[in-house]
């Protein structure tokens, strides 16, 4: 793991992004009490990927067909969520 200053990161962004792409862990230190980890974002990290969009569409169809469960109390919510 490499820890660099925010100034160093700004001056050499391309180099550090390439190193992260190769699997190296880079931490950017900002001031005395703030730090940030550079991490590549993959398709799996995106919430609205194709699979999630399909699940939302399916849920909308179920709701239109009346395939819903109505809850009206905190107990029913807990029961629905298995809490």
HEC secondary structure over 1-65: CEEEEHHHHHHCHHHHHHHHHCCCCEEEEECCCEEEEECCCCHHHCCCCHHHHHHHHHHHHHHHC
* 31 and 14 fall within a common domain: yes
* 32 and 47 fall within a common domain: no
Q: What is the CATH number of the domain that holds 13?
A: 3.40.1620
* 26 and 52 fall within a common domain: no
- pLDDT band with cut points at 50, 70 and 90 for residue 73: very high
* 33 and 47 fall within a common domain: no
* 58 and 77 fall within a common domain: yes
Give the whole-angstrom CA distance, residue 49 versus residue 14: 27
Which residues span the domain enclosing 17? 2-38
Angle at the Cα of 63 from the Cα atoms of 60 and 65, rounded to 5 degrees? 110
Task: List the 34-38 sheet strands across, edge first.
Answer: 2-5, 26-30, 34-38
Query: What total of structural domains would you count in the chain?
Result: 2
Q: What is the pLDDT of residues 5-39, one digit of tens each?
A: 999 999 999 999 999 999 999 999 999 999 999 99
């Amino acid at each position: 793991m490499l820890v660099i200053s925010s100034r160093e990161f700004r001056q050499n962004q391309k180099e550090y992004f390439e190193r992260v792409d190769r699997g190296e862990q880079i931490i950017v230190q900002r001031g005395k009490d703030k730090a940030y980890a550079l991490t590549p974002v993959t398709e799996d990290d995106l919430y609205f990927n194709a699979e999630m969009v399909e699940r939302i569409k399916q849920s909308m169809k179920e709701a239109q067909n009346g395939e819903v469960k109505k809850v009206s109390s905190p107990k029913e919510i807990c029961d629905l969520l298995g809490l």
